[in-house]
Amino acid sequence: MPGVYIFEDKNKKPLYIGKSINLKSRIRQHYEGFREGTSKALQFFPQTKTLYLKPVKNDIEAVIIEANYIKQYQPRYNSIVKDDRSNLYLIFTNTPSTKISIVHATDIQDLNLDNLKGQVFGPYASGAVAKTLYKQLRNIFGFCLAPFNSQNRMCFNYHLGHCPGACVGEITSSKYSAHLGRLKKFLSGQFIILDKSLNQEIKTAIKKQAYEQANEIKSQINGLHYILSTKDSSLLLKLSDATDALQYKIVQKLKHPLLKKPPIRIECYDLAHLQGENYVGSLAVFIKGAPSTQDYRHFNIRLPDRSDPFAMRQIIERRFNHKEWGTPDLIVLDGGIPQLSIATPAIPPHIPVIALAKKKETIYFYDSEYKIVTLNLPIEDPVLNLFRNLRDEAHRFANSFHIKQRRKSLIS
C-alpha cells in the first residue's frame, strides 16, 4: 500500500517525513537499518515516540502530500539526511505572463519568495519526480510556455494541443489565471476540491451552451481520474524507492568505516593525456544516483613529473580549495592502490574514499586500521554498476576536455 509516513517526537513534532510504494516494507527497512547501524534512521529513531501513517491511493498523491508536508513542517532530519541542494521545485512566476518552471533548490535563494507565496510547490527529491509532475500538468490541463507574448507567437505546447491559447490571445489573462488555479490545486493535493470544481464548471458551461468548453473540462476530469487511479502511476515511487534502496546497498556492500549513512553526493576523479602531453583531470558528480552535470569540473595538470597518482592528488587538492562546491559523501578514484595511497592524504579525513581499478573492477579502500581492503562485487551488482557509470562519466568528461586542449596546442 503506498503512502506517507511521519516519525514524530514526544511533542508530536515531525522528525522525518517520507513516502513509499509499500509503507510496511519501508518502515521495516528503517527499523532493520537502525538495528544494523546502516540507516539514516540512526539519527531520528532514538527520539521517535509516535509513527503516523497516511495511506493513499497512488504514488502521485504520495509524492504531492509528502512534498506539502515537508514544506509545511520542515522536519529537521529531512534536511540532514538528504542533500537539500539536489531538491527541485515547481514554480509559477508571479507576473501577468505566468510561466511554470522547474527550479533547483540552489536557485531558490536567488528568487524573491515574498512575491511567490502560493506559487512554489515541492520539494521533490529527484528530477524524475519533478519532470513527471510537470508532464502530467501539461497533458491533463495544459499550460502556455509563452503567455501573452507581444508577437502572439504560438508556443510549443500549443502545437501539441496542450496550451489553452494564452500565447495567441485565445484566452484572457483572468481566465488563464483561473485555469492555472486548477494546476495549483492539483499540486497542493486538493484532488477532491478540484474534482468538484471541474464538475461544477461543466454544468455552468452546459447551461451557457458552451459545449466545446464542457468537453475540454470533461477531458481534464478523465485525465485526473486516470492518473489518480492507474496502477502504472506507481512508477514514481518505484523510482524513489529504488534510489533509496541503492544508497542503502552502498553502505551495506562496502562496509567502509567512514561511510555511516547512504551517500547522496558521490564524486569521481579521472585523468586523460597522450604520452604525458596535455595532461588534464576531471570531476564527475552523481547526486542520488544520477549525473549532476552542472557540478562537473575539469583541471589542467601542473606538475613537472606527470605521473597518474600525483596528478590525481593535485586535482583533489585543488578541488578541496573550493568549499562552495559542496562536500561529497563518497569519493571514487579511477585507479588502484597507487592512486588511493597518494590521493587519500589530500582528502579530508572524515570523507570516505575508494579506488576502482578497471581490469577486474576491483574496489580498494582503507579500513579503520589503515589496511587495504579489497572488494570484488559481482559484475551485475547495482552498486558496482553505479560506480562504473560514474567512472565512465568522469572518463568521458576528461577525454572531451583533453581533445579540446590538444586542438588548442596544435593551433598554437
Structural domains of the chain sorted by starting position, each given as residue range(s) with its CATH number in brackets: 255-411 (3.30.420.340)
Q: Which residues of 259-271 are buried (b: 16+ CB within 10 A; e: fewer)?
A: bbbbbbbbbbbbb
The set of residues, in sequence order, having a beta carbon less than 8 Å from that of 403 and lying 6+ positions away, is: none
Q: What is the reported pLDDT for 89?
A: 83
End-to-end CA distance of the chain: 64
Whether the per-residue pLDDT at 213 is higher than 50: the answer is: yes
At 255, list the grid cell: 562496509
- If you average pLDDT over residues 54-69, what whole number do you get? 84
φ, ψ of residue 50 to 5 degrees: the values are -135, 155
Confidence of residue 256 (pLDDT cuts 50, 70, 90): confident
Interatomic CA distance for residues 311 and 355, integer angstroms: 15
Report the range of poorest mean pLDDT among 214-228, 265-279, 280-294.
Answer: 265-279
Whether the per-residue pLDDT at 25 is higher than 60: the answer is: yes
Q: SS3 for the chain, per residue?
A: CCEEEEEECCCCCEEEEEEECCHHHHHHHHHHHHHHCCCHHHCCHHHCCEEEEEECCCHHHHHHHHHHHHHHHCCHHHHHHCCHHHCEEEEECCCCCCCEEEEEHHHHCCCCHHHHCCCEEEEECCHHHHHHHHHHHHHHCCCCCCCCCCCCCCCHHHHHCCCCCCCCCCCCHHHHHHHHHHHHHHHCCCHHHHHHHHHHHHHHHHHCCCHHHHHHHHHHHHHHHHHCCCHHHHHHHHHHHHHHHHHHHHHHHHCCCCCCCCCCEEEEEEEEEECCEEEEEEEEEEECCEECHHHCEEEECCCCCCCHHHHHHHHHHHHCCCHHHCCCCEEEEECCHHHHHHHHHHCCCCCCEEEEECCCCEEEEECCCCCEEEECCCCCCHHHHHHHHHHHHHHHHHHHHHHHHHHHHHHC
Confidence of residue 121 (pLDDT cuts 50, 70, 90): confident
**Greatest mean pLDDT among 21-30, 132-141, 272-281, 341-350:** 341-350
Q: What is the reported pLDDT for 203?
A: 92
Question: What would the pLDDT profile of 313-372 be if each residue is shown by its tens digit?
Answer: 888 999 999 988 888 999 999 989 998 999 999 999 999 999 999 878 999 999 888 899
Whether the per-residue pLDDT at 175 is higher than 50: the answer is: yes
Interatomic CA distance for residues 299 and 314, integer angstroms: 9
**Greatest pairwise CA separation for the chain in angstroms:** 84
Q: What is the reported pLDDT for 240?
A: 57
φ, ψ of residue 259 to 5 degrees: the values are -95, 95
Whole-model pTM: value is: 0.51
The set of residues, in sequence order, having a beta carbon less than 8 Å from that of 346 and lying 6+ positions away, is: 313, 316, 317, 320
Interatomic CA distance for residues 33 and 250, integer angstroms: 13
The set of residues, in sequence order, having a beta carbon less than 8 Å from that of 299 and lying 6+ positions away, is: 280, 281, 282, 283, 314, 315, 318, 319
Among the listed residues 282, 277, 278, 250, the one whose alpha carbon sits nearest the alpha carbon of residue 265: 250
147 in Cβ contact with 167 (< 8 Å) = yes
Whether the per-residue pLDDT at 381 is higher than 50: the answer is: yes
